[in-house]
Amino acid sequence: MESSQHRGASPETQKTVRINIYRGDAEGGEFVEYDVPLVEGMVVLDAVLYVQAHISPDLAVRWNCKAAHCGSCGGEVNGRPKLLCKTRVDDYEGEEIRVSPMRAFPLIKDLVTDVSWNYEVARSIPEFKPAEKAPFTMYEEDVERLYEPKRCIECFLCQDVCHVLRSHHKHPAFAGPRFFAKIQSLEMHPMDTGHRTEYLKEGRGGIGFCNITKCCTEVCPEHINITDNSIIPLKERVVGDYYDPAKWLMRKIRGRRNGE
Amino acid sequence: MERHDTVEHDILVIGAGGAGLRAAIEAAERGLSVGIVCKSLLGKAHTIMAEGGIAAAMGNVDPDDSWETHFKDTMKSGKFINNWRMAEIFAKEAPDRVYELEEWGGLFDRTPDGRIMQRPFGAHTYRRLCHVGDRTGLELIRTLQDKVLHTGAEVYMETTITRLLKDGERVVGALGYVRETGRFVHFKAPAVIMATGGWGRIYKVTSNSWEGTGDGVILAYEAGAELVDMEMVQFHPTGMVWPPGVRGILVTEGVRGEGGILKNSRGERYMERYDPEKMELSSRDVVARANYTEVEQGRGSEHGGVYLDITHLGPEKIKKKLPTMYEQFLKLADVDITREPMEVYPTIHYTMGGVRVEAETGATTVPGLFAAGEVAGGLHGANRLGGNSLSDLLVFGRRAGIGASEYVKANGYSLEVDEDQIRQEKERVLRPFENPEGGESPYAIQSELQEIMQEHASIMRTEESLREGLEKVRALKERAPGVRIEGSRMYNPGWHTALDIHFMLQVSEIILMSALERREQRGAQWRLDHEGLDEELGKVNFVARKGSDGEVEITTREIEPMPEHLSRLFEED
């Protein structure tokens, strides 16, 4: 860090950084090289927005908060899913930087992909169904495991890295890690009376496709342990509901009562 | 003529932050067809950046709390130019709105006896902010988003509205375009709810995302609505300072709520000199001016801020109560806040002024147009209390949803509009592509405006500087229609920015003009050329509307005296 007083003006150095950004649309595209002034502490999104403001105003990128809270700026840096606002340029010293869109979703333009599929999945998940009217009496120890999945900022990087989606394109039959974390937060809510194991096993959830490679956990910018704390407990719940004879019977009766 | 798609709903909600989503849920649950338009993806609205909590007088931690105290805190902090009826409704209804969130699956930190935990915050008499760590806004948005996705409401993501459409005096829809394709859409609706948030992006150092460009307030203004208290812009005392790329990003008031201490470069806990009673938890206007003054007088930190220290809380509690702040500083600034202080400086955060609404229904002065949340004015007066925004969104989002629903059910107006309105608007929107080559870049205009507002409509203001700023903004306004855009209409941020600056410039002009009129020191409006509060100005709001000549017209409007059941509350002090 520099030791002089800096107010207002940014203490830009003369150095520049070269950044390769994917430019193109559904028809095709290529990486384009840009040289951007290097500023101390800059993140990849800073560089992309510099290009947009000074070199190529039609460069498409999503962003909002610039503080890793909103999850808008998911993309890939050197092929790895990353939040562009949280990826420091100085982490790549001596390396080439290649910024590209997420691969698991259809490309719209440049760094922007069509993520609307995620919202369809969200809509298909049976919603929170409270046992009683609020205010709830719930103790810290009853809810503490919910804080983790609720940290999710919906950047969809876990969806992007998941090979079930990325390589096998199982979008119509698989909800993906983001929504397993979501379902965990619903299923483990002490006041919830909804049922989602059928959704997970026979419905759109498709949790059986996941073979626990932990890629989702590795890329999560919120450090949510999706595999161990969401997916595995949900898989256990499915096993419990489907292969325990008493629960199997309950499920049949309940299903009939709900007219399913 | 350039073609467009047409869709029709009973209610069109513009904006998908807390207020818009809450309004949409209300209307959809009443059986109306609802369309929600937002500029970003669903769930990315600026509401997410509300970190510290949601203020509601539930008394879970301090049983003495009551709506009356919350009402008084809100009015005092707003320096009594608030709409007292809004403040009353707000304080009374906030707890129910929080419980409703809980019933929809929203999760809050708990007290030892299993209720919703409440934390202290600036200028709230009691511990009043329901929270989940420092991610309360995220929890609120996610809860409402799930709820909306399970109603029949239609969400038009990444769609921008550029003009409200009227049939005579009534708003009956809007014209917009889809950002992905650039294709125009005519939204037909007998009622429109404006919930587009604020306009912090007109400043250079801001906690706001690119979206906060004042579209909604200017769409309403251009449709004939009255705006109120536009001079009132909130500087949050603590934004990040270093490195340059993160300058302005919010540091939650929750840090001070959890015991954070402000110090200058001499190690002095200087809030003793500005508000010895409330110290760091004084109201935002006071703390922001204190931070500003310390730096101005040469007692600033290495990078031109002040120090905010929470290390005494210990790593475990910091990571539990302020996890986002911990991660944000560690990752973006190489600062471990469990071991060293943060550097912070005021950042533009919130706009108290906005569209003038009826307290009960959110109705604006234009039939068919409703407004709620940050885009509406009145509740917060001259200064907003931390935590009051999230409850504002829910209380008045719901009320606007009811107000618009009842309006739609009671009326059966035609949704047809004069095609000329649509044609002219399309021409205006497409002009940046038609302008001759060599026209200016919209980014250059935007950044020039941000510099002007930062300098001339800042935390301290003078007549001379405001006038100079106004001249500069007007000159920029002349230049803006000449901006030139390259590329196609497909997801073209340069084009989007060219349209944003129209709203940004107009709202800036109105702010400067209003700030020139209020010659006093009241809350966020701090005129260095006028000492203290002016009692007479405490009885009025400044109202802006579009005059018959098309220019901004500023008038005063007298504040009705409080009824006895409210004024009595202040006599008891």
Q: Taking each helix axis from N to C terminus, what angle separates B136-149 and A116-124, rounded to the nearest 10 degrees?
A: 70
Q: Which residue on chain B is closest to A26 by alpha carbon? A: B490
Nearest to A57 among B107, B245, B443 (CB): B443
Predicted local confidence at residue A6, as pLDDT: 34
Q: Identify all chain B residues contacting A8, using CB atoms and an 8 Å cutoff.
A: 304
| Average pLDDT of span A173-196 | 97
Task: Count Cβ–Cβ pairs < 8 Å, chain A vs chain B.
Answer: 194
Fold annotation for A16-113? Ubiquitin-like (UB roll) (3.10.20)
Asked if A124 reaches chain B (Cβ–Cβ under 8 Å), the answer is no
- Mean pLDDT of the region B525-549: 97
Per-residue pLDDT tens over the stretch A90-130:
999 999 999 999 999 999 999 999 999 999 999 999 999 99
Q: What class is the A116-257 domain?
A: mainly alpha
On whether any CB of chain B is under 8 Å from the CB of A141, the answer is: no
> CB distance A119–B491 less than 8 Å?
no
Looking at residue A11, its pLDDT comes to 45
Is position B376 within any domain?
no
pLDDT, mean of residues B391-420? 94
Q: How far is CA B449 from the centre of its chain?
A: 19
Q: Domain boundary at B515, B531, B547, which? A: B531
Q: Which residues of chain B are within 8 Å of residue A122 when distances are taken between CB atoms? A: 145-146, 149
The answer as to whether B30 is a domain residue is no
Q: Nearest Cα to B132, choosing from B60, B54, B61?
A: B54
Q: Which of A190, A195, A194, A155 is nearest to A176 (CA)?
A: A155
Structure tokens belonging to residue A158: 């876990």
* Amino acid A253: pLDDT: 72
Among B41, B486, B491, beta carbon nearest to A60: B491
Q: Is A80 on the interface with B (CB under 8 A)?
A: no
- B118-119: strand order across its sheet: B54-55, B129-130, B118-119
Q: Is residue B55 part of a domain?
A: no
Please compute the mean of the pLDDT values over residues B238-249 and round it to a whole number. Answer: 94
Under 8 Å between Cβ of A173 and A212: no
Burial-class residue A172 by CB neighbours within 10 Å (0-12, 13-18, 19+): exposed
Q: How many residues does chain A have?
A: 260
| Domain-located, residue B216 | no
Verify whether the Cβ–Cβ distance B109 to A140 is below 8 Å: yes
Q: For B175-233, what is each residue's pLDDT tens digit?
A: 999 999 999 999 999 999 999 999 999 999 999 999 999 999 999 999 999 999 999 99
Q: What is the pLDDT of residue A1?
A: 33
Question: Element (H or E) spanning A260, and its range?
Answer: none
Q: What is the rounded CA–CA span in Å between residue B223 and residue B221? A: 5
Confidence of residue A246 (pLDDT cuts 50, 70, 90): confident
CA distances from B285 to B69, B376, B484, B487, B507 (A): 20, 20, 40, 44, 21
Other beta carbons less than 10 A from residue A45's beta carbon: 25
Give residue A256's pLDDT: 52
**Out of B49, B103, B142, closest to residue A69 by CB:** B49
Q: How confident is the model at residue A2 (pLDDT cuts 50, 70, 90)?
A: very low
Give me the number of domains chain B comprises: 2
Q: What is the mean pLDDT of residues B514-520?
A: 98
Chain A residues in contact with B249 (beta carbon < 8 A): 65-67
Test A133 with B103 for CB contact under 8 angstroms. Answer: yes
Q: Do A123 and B107 touch (CB under 8 A)?
A: no
Q: Does the interface ipTM go beyond 0.90?
A: yes
CB < 8 Å to B142, chain A: 150, 152
Cβ–Cβ < 8 Å for B176, B187: yes
Alpha helices in chain A (DSSP H): 44-54, 116-124, 140-143, 147-150, 157-161, 163-166, 177-187, 197-201, 215-219, 232-243, 245-257
The answer to whether residue B6 is domain-embedded is: no
The residue of chain B with its CA nearest to that of A54 is B443
| CA B98 – CA B55 distance, rounded (Å) | 9
Interface test with A, best of B21, B39, B100, B107 (most A CBs within 10 A): B107
3-state helix, strand, coil in chain A (%, to 5): 40, 15, 45
Residues 190-209 of A with CB under 8 A from B: 192
Nearest by Cα to A139 from B302, B340, B380, B114: B114
On whether the CB atoms of residues B415 and B17 are closer than 8 A, the answer is no
Question: Are residues B332 and A86, on separate chains, in Cβ contact within 8 Å?
Answer: yes
| B474 within some domain | yes
- Which chain B residues are closer than 8 Å to A159 by Cβ? none
Domain edges within chain A? 16-113, 116-257
User: Is B48 exposed, middle or buried, given 0-12, 13-18 or 19+ CB atoms closer than 10 A?
Assistant: buried
Percent of chain B clearing pLDDT 90 (strictly above): 96
Q: Would you name the residues of B annotated as active-site residues?
A: 236, 256
Q: Nearest CA to CA, how far is A52 from chain B (Å)?
A: 8
Of A115, A119, A189, the CB nearest to B149: A119
Rounded CA-CA distance A143/B285 in Å is 36
Boundary-marking domain end, from B531, B549, B566: B531
Give the pLDDT mean for B476-483.
96
Residues in chain A closer than 8 A to B115 (CB atoms): 135, 137
Of B103, B328, B487, the CB nearest to A130: B103
Answer whether A39 sits within 8 Å of B245, measured CB to CB.
yes
Q: How far apart are the first and last CA of chain B?
A: 65
pLDDT beyond 50 at A149: yes
Q: Reply yes or no on whether the pLDDT at B143 is more than 50.
A: yes
Residue B553: both structure tokens together = 């017209």
Q: CA dihedral defined by B536, B540, B543, B548, rounded to 10 degrees? A: -70
Which residue in A12, A70, A133 is closest to B48 by CB distance?
A70
Domain boundary residue, one of B285, B318, B347: B347
Of the candidates B300, B487, B491, the beta carbon closest to that of A112 is on B491
The DSSP call for residue A227 is I
The span from the CA of B93 to the CA of B98, in Å, is 9
Q: Which residues pair with B369 in a beta bridge?
A: B192
Contact A6 B304 (CB under 8 A): yes
Residue with tokens 């592509």: B433
The whole-number pLDDT of residue A258 equals 45
> Measured between alpha carbons, how far is B364 from B543 in angstroms, rounded to an integer?
13
- Tell me: the pLDDT tens digits for B7-58? 999 999 999 999 999 999 999 999 999 999 999 999 999 999 988 899 999 9
Measure A123 CA to nearest chain B CA, in Å. 5
Distance from CA of A245 to the nearest CA of B (A): 31
Report chain B's mean pLDDT, rounded to a whole number.
Answer: 96
Look at the alpha carbons of A251, A255, A256, A257 in this order and tell me if their dihedral is positive or negative.
positive
Interface probe for B, chosen from A58, A110, A147 (most Cβ of B below 10 Å), is A58
Instruction: Measure B113 CA to nearest chain A CA, in Å.
Output: 7
Q: Which residue in the set B105, B324, B492 is minimally distant from A58, CB to CB?
A: B492
Q: Do B110 and A59 touch (CB under 8 A)?
A: no
Question: What φ, ψ does residue B328 adopt, rounded to 5°?
Answer: -60, -45
Q: Confidence band (pLDDT; 50, 70, 90) for A250?
A: confident
B80-104: average pLDDT: 98
Q: What is the pLDDT of residue A254?
A: 66
The whole domain housing B517 covers: 433-531
Q: Give me the CATH number covering residue B484.
A: 1.20.58.100
Using the Cβ of A173 and the Cβ atoms of chain B, whether some distance falls under 8 Å is answered with no
Q: What is the mean pLDDT of residues A14-25?
A: 94
Phi, psi of A122 (to 5 degrees): -55, -40
R_g of chain B computed on alpha carbons? 23
Chain A neighbors of B492, CB-CB under 8 A:
57-58, 60
| Rounded Cα distance, B35 and B185, in Å | 12
Helices (H) and strands (E) in chain B, counts: 16, 23
DSSP E strands: which ranges in B294-438? 306-309, 342-351, 354-356, 369-371, 376-377
Contacts of A24 (CB under 8 A, 6+ apart): A30, A107, A109, A110
Q: Tell which residue, A231, A220, A121, A153, has the closest CA to residue B150.
A: A121
Partners of A136 on chain B (C-beta within 8 Å) are 102-103, 114
Residue B573 confidence (pLDDT): 65
Is residue B188 one of the residues assigned to a domain? no
Q: Which amino acid, one-letter code, is at A113? A: T
Strands B540-546 and B34-37, bridge-based pairing? unpaired
The pair of structure tokens assigned to B114 is 């299993």
Q: Say if the Cβ atoms of A86 and B495 lie within 8 Å.
A: no
Q: What is the CA radius of gyration of chain A?
A: 22
Q: A81 touching B, CB under 8 A?
A: no
The verdict on a CB contact (< 8 Å) between A186 and B105 is yes
Cβ of A69 and B332 within 8 Å?
A: no
Q: Which of B135, B145, B243 sits opposite A41 (nearest CB)?
A: B243
Indicate yes or no: CB of B146 within 8 angstroms of CB of A66: no
SS3 assignment for B283-306: CHHHHHHHHHHHHHCCCCCCCCCE
Q: Give the C-alpha separation, B280 to B346, whole Å.
A: 14
Give A239's contacts (C-beta < 8 A, 6+ positions apart).
none
Smallest CA-to-CA distance from B104 within B22, B196, B35 is with B22
DSSP B106-168: ----B-TTSSB-EE--TT-SS--EE-STT-HHHHHHHHHHHHHHTSS-EEETTEEEEEEEEET
The confidence score (pLDDT) of residue B130 equals: 98
How far A135 CA sits from the closest chain B CA (Å)? 6
Indicate which of A23, A150, A185 best probes the interface with B, i.e. most B CBs within 10 Å of its own CB.
A150
Interface with chain A: mutation pick from B156, B210, B497, highest number of A CBs within 10 Å: B210
For residue A260, name the pLDDT band (cuts at 50, 70, 90). Answer: very low
d(CA B222, CA B254) in angstroms, rounded, equals 38
Is residue B508 in a domain?
yes
- Name every residue whose Cβ is closer than 8 Å to that of residue B413 and which is 6 or more positions away in sequence: B167, B170, B172, B190, B368
